[in-house]
Amino acid sequence: MNALVELHGVSKRYGSAAALQPTDLNFARGQTTVLIGPSGCGKSTMLRLIIRLLEPDSGKIKIDGASVSSSNITEFRHRVGYVIQDGGLFPHLTARGNILLMARQLNKRIALDELCALTRFPAQALDRFPAELSGGQRQRVSLMRALALTPKLLLLDEPLGALDPLVRAALQKDLKEIFQRLQQTAILVTHDLAEAAFLGNEIVLMNEGRIVQKGTLGELRSQPTSSFVSEFITAQRSLALT
Amino acid sequence: MRFLGAVLFFISTMASAKPVVIGSKKFTESYVLAEIAKHSLGEAGISVEFRPGMGGTIIVWEALRSGQIDIYPEYTGTLAEEILKNADISPEMMQAELAKNRIGMSPELGFNNTWALAMRREAAQRLSIRTISDLRTHPELKYGLTHEFLDRRDGWPALVRRYGLRTGNVQGIDHGLGYEALRTGSIDIKDAYSTDAKIGENDLVTLEDDLHFFPQYKAVYLYRLSLPTNALAALQKVSGTLDEARMIRLNAEAERTKNYARAAALYFGDASDTAESFSHKLLRWTARHLELAGFSLLLSVLIGVPLGLIASRPGFLSQIILGLTSAIQTIPSLALLALLVPLPFFGISVRTAIAALFLYGLLPIVRNTATGLQDIAPSIRESATALGLTTGARLRRIYLPIASRTILAGIKTSAVINVGTATLAALIGAGGLGEPIISGLNLNDHVTILEGAIPAALLALLVQFFFDLLDRVLIPKGLRL
Ligand SMILES: Nc1ncnc2c1ncn2[C@@H]1O[C@H](COP(=O)(O)OP(=O)(O)OP(=O)(O)O)[C@@H](O)[C@H]1O
Ligand SMILES: [Mg+2]
């Protein structure tokens, strides 16, 4: 069985508005899957459902073939890394404090220098507070925090969304290397098709709470299953040209 | 939790030690008589707790009846009229009625402090007025009477009827101001107590009550029958030793020196300065003040922060908590004290003062804790949950430290309010820097008022300063960038 995460008929609604229609989807082990689609199409909702920040209204989510229940949710979360757009770093803790927080709670030792090398973070900046770091450095710290307990699954919600293009390009390259080196199963949300193509083994295109098509960028481009797919790709390409 | 237990234990023992407790009402003569009792018991080697200036007749009587105090000075007339509600009761009946409440009455101390009408000696001689009956022939005189005397059933209206006075010119005036008005001639006659020190000081005469209208207000001590016999013997030594002239002298001494203990010392023939030095008094007041404000603040924090935590989650409970704590804040502090005093556990005690201050201190802490927690960004909350921190760890390691600045600001507000409000504790005999303020107000003595008011203001500033320092220690550095 090759899928690490399986969604079976999972749905979520807020009041009368459906954020995610009943969805079946598998995420392959050791692969990077990218969720892409227009704003509000349900990408973040899917990540929040997987790490159980939200409970699904219907359906089942299986991780490694097993359901997550309230009794094993904490242990489950220790094995999942979660990185969000502004980093979600705790402002009262230093970079080091943020990264080691969970490990210290669990009395685990962590090779911080290896993490720094992996994410190309200057070790002398470890004792700075988030407010004293640049946006790119904050995302590297957030990534180290997510990787600290060697997660079997890494969830990234627009991790590079707020960065300037140069820093963003550097981080894209580093992320790709990290994923490959760690054989990391990762689910990444982005708005940027180029980033999706660069980082993802598979792209999942969503619209209005449902999956429209999945495959590589080449497949989406050559065999679009609907006009929405081609329009989305064209819009992104013309955006990149201007 | 153990800590909270220890605090509660401390507070309850603080108020339950067992010396003889002497109380008094809130006017000069009552203070002096209480000081005399204290001195007399002290000489007999009996340990005494002193609660002067507790309030009016009903408050002090209730305190005696419920056992919060053991002794206080009272007047037979007041006892008959206001407490037993039977103006014609005989002394034997009075003893019997009191015994039902397990209270005894000492033999009379000697003087009769009844109502009297006073006028300037010079005017009385000029108009040859010696008795109240003589007033009938002088309808032109201007009367300035206290509101209490004007309104009492057995006061002014009854007097006018009995003597058949014709009076057109009567106005209500405050007791203290009345003496001033007499002096300047804006009134000619006012009501007074027959042992009032002001009568001697202002060269006034009291008019003879030739129709025996005024009731007898013989001074006595009331005491609980459970009083130890040696204490009772020491108390009864005072009986029959104080005539009007002597009491007027003691009252005058108290008002002249602004020192009741000194007046009592004069009674015992010890005119030397037995009074506490100012620095010692200041230390005692300040220590008690800090004790009141400190304990109440500690309780406010121990209870307020958890309440704020609950209130930070939207819902019915949150509205109830915030609503209740806000409602408490709108009760005037005097009213809150008055509401707590009749309750069984509280009464006239340090506990009541601490409880009232604790209740006042709650709102800023509850509200700031709730706001501080609500203001934490959703991304921080999501990250903390997604990391797999337990609920307790999220609170301790993430939410409370991030909200610490707001919470501390609430605690600081409470502390400053408490230091200010703690001055009112003196109203129920709980001491503190309010003690000189209250007795200064009673003596109309600004210096004494300032002896309490200035240190209280300085203390508030110090507290503010202390918490500013505490901010630097307790608010994480990452939040101060
Ligand atoms: N807490 C919430 N309450 C109500 N509606 C919500 C809530 N969170 C999300 N939604 C709605 O659910 C839908 C999906 O939201 P979601 O955050 O998953 O979108 P997204 O694809 O991540 O969008 P973006 O690219 O802008 O981040 C949107 O229509 C959004 O308005
Ligand atoms: Mg999103």
Distance from CA of B384 to the nearest CA of A (A): 8
Q: Are residues B307 and B322 in the same domain?
A: yes
Structural Rg of chain A based on CA atoms: 18
* The pLDDT value given to residue B286: 93
Q: Is the CB of A9 under 6 A from ligand 1?
A: no
CATH number, residue B243:
3.40.190.10
Contacting residues for A238 by C-beta, under 8 A, at least 6 apart: none
Q: What is the dihedral of CA A217, A218, A224, A229, to 10 degrees?
A: 30
Q: What is the tens place of the pLDDT at every residue in A25-54?
A: 999 999 999 999 999 999 999 999 999 999
In a domain, B7, yes or no: no
* Per-residue pLDDT at A239: 59
Report CB contact under 8 Å: B389, A89. no
| Same structural domain, B241 and B172 | no
- Cβ A53–B386 below 8 Å, yes or no? yes
Residue type, A226: S
d(Cα B372, Cα B308) in Å, to the nearest integer?
Answer: 9
Residue B251 has pLDDT above 60, yes or no: yes
For residues B228 and B316, state if they share a domain: no
The CATH number linked to B139 is 3.40.190.120
Chain B contact probe: residue of A53, A77, A92 with most B CBs at under 10 A: A92
With CA atoms as reference, the chain A residue closest to B381 would be: A88
Residues B107 and B120 placed together within one structural domain of the fold? no
Query: Is the distance from CB of B113 to CB of B74 less than 8 angstroms?
Result: no
pLDDT band at A22 (very low <50, low <70, confident <90, very high): very high
- Kindly report the average pLDDT of chain B as a whole number: 86
Separation of A159 CA from ligand 2 center, angstroms? 11
Burial B86-96 (b: 16+ CB within 10 A, else e): eeebeeeebee
Predicted TM-score (pTM) of this structure: 0.67
Distances (CA, A) of A138 to A43, A121, B378: 23, 10, 17
**Nearest C-alpha to atom 14 of ligand 1 is from which residue?**
A42
At how many degrees (to 10) do helices B434-443 and B278-311 cross? 120
Least confident of B59-73, B139-153, B384-398: B139-153
Query: CA B282, CA B280: separation in Å to the nearest integer?
Result: 5
Residue B272 lies in a domain: no
A49 touches chain B (CB under 8 A): no
* Amino acid (1-letter code) at residue A154: L
In this structure, the answer to whether residues B288 and B424 fall within a common structural domain is: yes
| Greater model confidence, B149 or B101 | B101
Q: Is B9 a member of any domain? A: no
Q: Is A53 in the pocket of ligand 1 (CB under 6 A)?
A: no
Would B2 be classed as within a structural domain? no
Whether residue B274 has pLDDT greater than 80: no
**A19 CB within 6 A, ligand 1:** yes
Residue nearest to atom 3 of ligand 1 (CA): A14
Confidence of residue A153 (pLDDT cuts 50, 70, 90): very high
What count of other Cβ atoms lies within 10 Å of the Cβ of residue A185?
Answer: 22
Contact (CB, 8 A) for B250 and B260: no
Amino acid at B93: M
User: Are B295 and B415 in the same domain?
Assistant: yes
Q: What one-letter code names the amino acid at B8? A: L
Same domain, B260 and B400: no
For A187-216, letters b (16+ CB in 10 Å) and e give bbbbebbebbbbbbebbbbbbebebbbbbe
3 state DSSP class of A24 = strand
- B1 in a structural domain: no
Q: Provide the β-strand partners of residue B71.
A: B22, B223
- Write the CATH number for B422: 1.10.3720.10
pLDDT of B271 reads 47
- Among residues B245, B267, B289, the one where a domain terminates is B267
Which residue's CA lies nearest to atom 2 of ligand 1?
A14
Residues in chain B: 481
User: Residue A15: is it exposed, middle or buried by C-beta count within 10 angstroms (0-12/13-18/19+)?
Assistant: exposed
Q: Please state whether beta strands B115-120 and B189-193 pair in parallel, antiparallel, or not at all (unpaired).
A: antiparallel
Ligand 1, atom 6: closest residue by C-alpha? A14
The mean pLDDT of chain A is 91
Structural domain count of chain B: 3
Query: How far is the alpha carbon of A230 from chain B, nearest alpha carbon, in Å?
Result: 34
Whether the CB-CB separation of B36 and B6 falls below 8 Å is answered with no
Residues 6 or more apart whose Cβ sits within 8 Å of residue B157:
none
Which pLDDT score is estimated for B408? Answer: 95
**What is the pLDDT at residue B443?**
67
pLDDT in tens, A159-216: 988 788 888 899 999 999 999 999 999 999 998 899 999 999 999 999 999 999 999 9
- List C-alpha distances in Å: B146 to A164, A199, B211: 82, 93, 22
Helix axes B28-43, B229-236, angle to 10 degrees: 130
Task: Return d(Cα A14, Cα A27) in angstroms, integer.
Answer: 25
Query: Helix, strand or coil for residue B56?
Result: coil
A98 lines ligand 1 (CB under 6 A): no
- B211 located within any domain: no
Is B179 within a domain?
Answer: yes
Classify residue B212: in a domain, yes or no: no
Q: Do B289 and B322 fall within a single domain?
A: yes
Is residue A45 lining ligand 1, measured as CB closer than 6 Å? Answer: yes
Is any ligand 1 atom within 6 A of the Cβ of residue A16?
no
A11 alpha carbon to ligand 1 midpoint, in Å?
13
Cβ of A27 under 8 Å from any chain B Cβ? no
Q: What is the pLDDT averaged over residues B210-237?
A: 89
Q: Kindly provide the ipTM of the predicted complex, given to two decimals.
A: 0.91
Q: pLDDT class for B10, splitting at 50, 70, 90? A: very low
The edge-to-edge listing of strands for the beta sheet with A80-83 is A80-83, A153-157, A186-189, A32-36, A202-207, A210-215
Please list, in sequence order, all residues whose beta carbon lies within 8 angstroms of the beta carbon of residue A80, skipping any fewer than 6 positions away: A50, A51, A151, A152, A153, A154, A155, B386
Query: Of B156, B177, B206, which closes a domain?
Result: B206
Q: Which of residues 156-195 of A touch B (CB under 8 A)?
A: none
Out of A76, A84, A105, the one facing B389 most closely (by C-beta) is A105
Which residues of chain B have a CB within 8 Å of the CB of A70?
A: none
- Which chain B residues are closer than 8 Å to A96 by Cβ? none
Q: Are residues B138 and B233 in the same domain?
A: no
Same domain, B453 and B345: yes
Cβ separation of A102 and B388 shorter than 8 Å?
yes
Q: How far apart are CA B51 and CA B54, in angstroms?
A: 7
Find out whether B31 and B53 touch, Cβ atoms under 8 Å. Answer: yes
Residue of minimum CA distance from atom 16 in ligand 1: A42
Q: What is the DSSP letter of A123?
A: G
Contact of B222 with B71, CB cutoff 8 Å: yes
Give me the residues paired with residue B75 across strands.
B219
For residue A185, give both structure tokens: 């199963």
Same domain for B161 and B194, yes or no, is yes
Matching residue, tokens 């709102």 = B363
Same domain, B185 and B287: no
Residues of B near A (Cβ–Cβ under 8 Å) read: 379-380, 382-390, 393, 397-398, 401-402, 404, 476-479, 481
Residue A101 clears pLDDT 90, i.e. is over it: yes
A-B C-beta contacts closer than 8 Å: 67
- Which of left, alpha, beta for A224 (phi over 0: left; psi -120 to 50: alpha)? beta
Task: Pull the structure tokens for residue B429.
Answer: 């005999």
Q: Which atom of ligand 1 is nearest to the CA of A48?
A: 18
Q: Could you tell me the residue range of the domain that residue B422 belongs to? A: 278-479
Q: In 3D, which of A56, A83, A53 has the Cα closest to residue A209?
A: A56
| Cβ pair A129:B478 closer than 8 A | yes
CB < 8 Å from B in window 72-101 of A: 73-78, 80, 82, 84-86, 88-94, 101
Nearest CA to ligand 1 atom 25: A39
Dist CA B101 CA B120 (whole Å): 44
CA–CA separation, B101 and B52 (whole Å): 22
